[in-house]
Amino acid sequence: MTFGPNLRKARKAVKLTQQDVADQLGVKKSTICGWERGHRTPRKGQLIRLATLYRVSADDLLDLPPIPENIPEPEFHPVPVIGTIRCGFGGVVTMDFDETKKTELSLLNRHRLDDYYWLIAKGDSMIDAGINEGDYLLICREQDVDSGTIAVVAIGDEEATVKKFIKKRNSIILQPENRSYEPEVFVGEEMNTVQVIAEVIEVRKVLKKRQ
């Protein structure tokens, strides 16, 4: 069995359509079709999200083992939705929600359960990373992340934003994922004003936007 058919079998095992998967990942249905036909392959981050959605490991998908027809239901834990966050510069985290969201325990395996929370994305500066207005972002508290990671970053005492965090020897770059926006670059002592708060580890799409 090749990689594409294995993806298709894993998707059908959890009773999802190609459109369901496309909506969850923020890509077109034709992209999912191309992956399953073997015309293209998902990026590493997309592969991890596919594995989570299909309730298998990324290694399972890559190694192409037999996938059972009936996969046990996942275990869930209620994770709080604590507010919204701007994806543009000059944003803040608005903590004015009293809500929880059922979250697969398989996503909550890095730290203590209370290190996780959900935020709702505002703005359009990260749309090319599949983060759109109204999407739910699963956040894990981290003080440091690898360069190239999408993270919640504080600038100064109040400003916070979601950006791709790029750290170089003499600079920090907060990179939008929208060509309409310019990156913000911090050098020298300015680098000390940038603080990683958390890593974005999951994006949940919403079909109906909040009013």
Residues taking part in catalysis: 125, 163
Cα→Cα distances 11→15, 19, 41, 63, 206, Å: 6, 11, 15, 16, 20
pTM, two decimals, is 0.62
pLDDT digits (tens, 9 = 90+) for 152-191: 999 887 678 999 999 998 999 999 999 999 999 999 999 9
Q: What is the mean pLDDT of the chain?
A: 85
Supply the pLDDT for residue 39.
84
Q: Which of 21-35, 67-81, 156-170 has the lowest mean pLDDT?
A: 67-81
123 class by beta-carbon count within 10 Å (0-12 exposed, 13-18 middle, 19+ buried) = buried
Under 8 Å between Cβ of 114 and 77: no
> Regarding beta strands 99-104 and 116-122, do their DSSP bridges make them parallel or antiparallel, or are they unpaired?
unpaired
